[in-house]
Amino acid sequence: MALAACGAESERPPIARLDEGPASIVVKNRSQYVLNEVRFHRSESYSGADSILSEQLSIGGEVVVRGTGWWYVTALREKNYGGPLRAYTTESPLGVAEGAGYTLMVYDEQFRLKQEPERRPPEPSDIILP
Amino acid sequence: MRTSPAWLLALALPACAAQRLVVPEPPSRVPTSIETHLEDVSITVDANFRGLGPYDHASQDPMIHSLSEYLRAYGPYRSVSRERPSPGAKVVPVSLELSIALDTDRSRTWILDVIAAYPFLGLFPFTPEWGEVSVAIIARPSIAELTEAGWRPRQQLTPIELTVKAAFSKLAYSWWRTEPEEDAYRRAYEMAFDELGRRLRRALERSVSAYRPEFEEEFAARSTRGPKPIEPKPKAPSRCSQTAVFISPVGAGFRPSFAATCREPPKIPDQEPTNPADSVSSPELDSANPKSANPGPNSSNPSEDRPLHTVSATRALAFADMSLDALGLTAPVVVPTSTTPASGSEAEPPQTEPTLEAPHPGLPHQSLDSESLTLAEPNEFFIDEPGLRILVRPVSRTDASLVERYLASLGGVEVSAFAGLASVQSSIHTETHPNEVVGSGKATSAGYRVSLYKPPDRTGFFFPASLGFLSEDVRIDGFLEEIPVAQIGGADTIGARITDPVTGEEDLEPINYFLRMRSGYLTQNIALSLVVGTDDVQFFWTGRAGINLFEIRHLEVDLATSTEQLTDVRGFLSGSAGTQIGIGIPALHAALRAAVDFEWHDQFEYPTPLDFLASSTYDEAEEIYFRERGRSDAVSLTAWNAQVSGVVLF
């Protein structure tokens, strides 16, 4: 059993171990904007984290990352057309259990982490979180 | 018997109609002592009134009686009445056929009527109405011939045409009150009858004297043989349609000559013309005639016999509307009227003759002498309403110089304190949000301004065109809204914290853009001014609305890293309205006013559509709340400006 997310760090439940190896997280852009960057970072600050994207993630596009543990996720995009770049960071970290499969849907100003029945099979293009 | 509302209305409506036959005050003129030689003239008046009101048919006799009094005041005549003299009477019979047309031109502001009828404003019964009454007289005098067989015209004289207009106004209960209009008719009759009497006497003085020897011969014949019909003779005074002044060279320069454009050659008893050029009577000829140059006590026409040096200097320029057929000219001639004597031999000292009467108040005063040399005698007169009134014509300063009148046309210098508020607004039109305002902004302005301003000087509708320029720098903002977080089974929904990646600061501002809006436009206005007051103090109110027929627009939008701009030409996409209220005191050269103006510019197009967010809705498919991203093509602007100001009038 895995917990998709939790509130305060002190309330984190233990990560269930479903399979061996890092979990698969399919990041889907369900927002109305093109995402310039998507960063996974362990602390609240996203300043030192690198983007997992090699190019902008189009509306409806997806990318698969593999990792385990607690992660904050930040999406960077234009606030509006021609407007300034803004960072949209999860208010709390997401818990990812080893061996599980997840889908992370990025909306305009919200995120939704959903656990899938199976982990996605590894692909060479998958991005491995540090 | 039942009384229906329609009956009551039918009874009430005539009560609101003013009488148009209003007997004027008796003539105040005291007959002057000048010898007019018209004591043997008997005038028979036949008047026909047109344009009568529903209550006027029974009151024509008093009107004719009053008219006769005014004619008598310019006598003395033997008689002035509706009765013809008997065939044997030793009188000069004159028939005076009068056609008197009455009319009322009234205006009212239905806008103010509606406002007055609206019960919560408390303006009832403030229902202004104003207008002018018109008394137009065409008098056809003729010297008649009395025979046993009857009465027939011997010589038709030049018709006298007069139109007198008098203003009236009503501020309250205008639908019921009739006395202002009736007073205006009374004043118009007074002036019209008085002017008619003056002109008729002058016409008779010229004509009757020419016929008098003929009449005396007839009287003598009657006394010996009894009355008999006398055939009209071709030798008759001229039927001068009008008098003209034209230039004739004399010596080294030009001097004006006095001419009459006549349908028949005039036959002045003492002077027979010898060629067609003599069909005009000229002061030169008259002055050459010893009898004319030195008019004796029996001179029948002293005015025409008078030398030129008696011409009033105020008639420096007389515009001669000449009878082109008679003179063989093709254009009017402007004649500088000189006070120089016609020639050295004619340079007699000015003759002092008694003036006929004091000028009637409101009438341009001319002595008979100057009138005889002038063509453009006014035939239309206007009498303003005395006292507090709705001003329909500007109060004119008769003593103003040319410079003063020019400055007055500019109005004065206005110093005003103003405050403005501009609002912009953008909407999106999507399937989920068919017409939703997604962005708005406000900009304020305040300050002082010095400008030229002219207060309205008369009541009425005006249709001024104007050029305007709009300049607004304003930020338009989207709306902030907390988006609900919907939790669903098997998933965890997490809100986002928004920060600026450059500064790391949290971003709590909505989407916004900085707009620079410029517009130059041509406006067609319709304005209604109501000016109430006296010659000294005037209160004014103006309501105005206008549409911008033509507009050049320029819009700049600041984006994060660039500025986009668009210039285009549009029409009928903007307009304005305004109102003002104030007081003017010309004697103090001061005015005060307060004004409010409203501007509206629709569909000010963005260079490229701008992003905004609609209000949050629930997406059934995604099971999440979100704000739809919408792009707006244009922005609308409304602007309010208010000001209070003081004006120093020139």
Tell me: the pLDDT tens digits for A18-68?
A: 457 899 999 999 999 999 999 999 999 999 999 999 999 999 999 999 999
Interchain contact, B491 vs A86, CB within 8 Å: no
Q: Which of B144, B260, B160 minimizes the C-alpha distance to B201?
A: B160
- CA dist B460 to B107, B129, B218, B339, B392, Å? 8, 10, 60, 44, 7
**Chain B residues close to A29, C-beta within 8 Å:** none
Mean pLDDT, to the nearest integer, of B400-408? Answer: 82
Mean of pLDDT values over B425-440: 92
Contact A109 B498 (CB under 8 A): yes
Of chain A, the percentage scoring pLDDT greater than 70 comes to 85
Say whether B624 and A112 touch across the interface (CB within 8 A).
yes
Of A81, A94, A114, nearest to B611 by CB-CB distance is: A81
CB contact under 8 A, B626 and A112: no
> Can you give the pLDDT at residue A27?
97
Locate the chain A residue with the closest alpha carbon to B629: A32
Helix (H, G, I), strand (E, B) or coil at B66: helix
Give residue B366's pLDDT: 34
Contact of A60 with chain B, judged by CB distance below 8 Å, is answered with no
Does residue B360 register a pLDDT over 70?
Answer: no
Res B31: pLDDT = 55
What does the pLDDT read at residue B33? 52
What pLDDT shows up at residue B4?
A: 53
**pLDDT winner (highest mean) among B159-163, B217-221, B431-435:** B159-163
Q: For chain B, give the mean pLDDT.
A: 76
Q: So what's the pLDDT on residue B260?
A: 33
Instruction: Write down the pLDDT at residue B89.
Output: 78
Whether the CB-CB separation of B27 and B69 falls below 8 Å is answered with: yes
| DSSP of B9-28 | HHHHHHHTSPPS--PPPPP-
B511 touches chain A (CB under 8 A): yes
Which range (B259-268, B369-378, B607-616) has the least confidence? B259-268
User: Mind listing the pLDDT tens digit for each residue in B108-147?
Assistant: 878 888 888 888 888 888 888 989 999 999 999 998 877 7
A5 reaches B (C-beta below 8 A): yes
Task: Please tell me the distance from the alpha carbon of residue B485 to that of residue B624, in angstroms, as a whole number.
Answer: 7
State the nearest Cα–Cα gap between B634 and chain A, in angstroms. 15
**A82 in reach of chain B (CB within 8 A):** yes
Q: How much is the pLDDT for B250?
A: 32
Q: Can you give the pLDDT at residue A90?
A: 97
> Hey, is the C-beta of B500 within 8 angstroms of any chain A C-beta?
yes
Q: Do A110 and B561 touch (CB under 8 A)?
A: no
Instruction: Note whether B480 contacts A: Cβ–Cβ < 8 A.
Output: no
Check whether B429 has a pLDDT greater than 50.
yes
Distance of CA A45 to the CA centre of its chain: 15
Per-residue model confidence as pLDDT tens digits over B262-303? 333 333 333 333 333 333 333 333 333 333 333 333 333 333
Contact criterion met (CB below 8 Å) for B415 and B637: no
Q: B485–A109: do the CB atoms touch at under 8 Å?
A: no
**What is the structure's pLDDT at B253?**
32
Q: In terms of CA atoms, which chain B residue is nearest residue A47?
A: B501
Separation in Å, CA B371 to CA B306, B327, B618:
12, 21, 93
Collect all residues of chain A within an 8 Å Cβ-Cβ radius of residue B627: 108-109
